[in-house]
Amino acid sequence: MSGAGVACPRARLALRIMIAALYLAAGVLHVDAPGGFLPIVPDWVPYPREVVVYTGFCEIAGAVGLLIPRTRRGAAWALALYALCVFPANIKHAFDHVVLPGIPDTWWYHAPRLLLQPALIWATLFSAAINFRRKSPRRT
């Protein structure tokens, strides 16, 4: 077995642990202090406080699920979809210049955050060994 074959599972594990920690921390914040997130919730979202709390529980469940082999793939898909669904809140935060305590209202903050959202989606799927490579047709 080549070194790359050994390194990939280790890289996926390290990434999975980091992503789970990120989502766990974010989830706890959403549940514990939903008011801090309300200003960036788009106006079209019904019951914004309840949605923020619910998404926090989803983040916590996804973080735990990502660490359990049996639920890893489903949790990765759910967290990737979650990251896609909260993207409008990040857009509102950036373009409406919503000021949140402790978070800079500058494009030095917002631009990387918006650009890294697709990378977070990819990294979550990669960490669970979900890939999109086409299988080569078998040669006869």
29-59, pLDDT tens digit by residue? 999 999 999 999 999 999 999 999 999 999 9
99: CB partners within 8 A, 6+ apart: 39, 105
Q: What's the confidence (pLDDT) of residue 85?
A: 94
CB 93 within 8 A of CB 100: yes
Can you state the percent helix, strand and coil of the chain, rounding each to 5? 70, 0, 25
pLDDT exceeds 50 at position 1? no
Tokens of 11: 């890289």
For residues 1 and 5, give the distance between their C-alpha atoms in angstroms, rounded to a whole number: 6
pLDDT (0 to 100) of residue 91: 94
- SS3 at position 100: strand
Q: Give the span between the Cα atoms of 9 and 117, in whole angstroms.
A: 23
d(CA 133, CA 57): 32
Whose tokens are 């857009």? That residue is: 91
Mean pLDDT of the chain: 90
19 in Cβ contact with 127 (< 8 Å): yes
Chain position carrying tokens 């594990």: 13
**pLDDT the model gives residue 2:** 45
pTM: 0.85
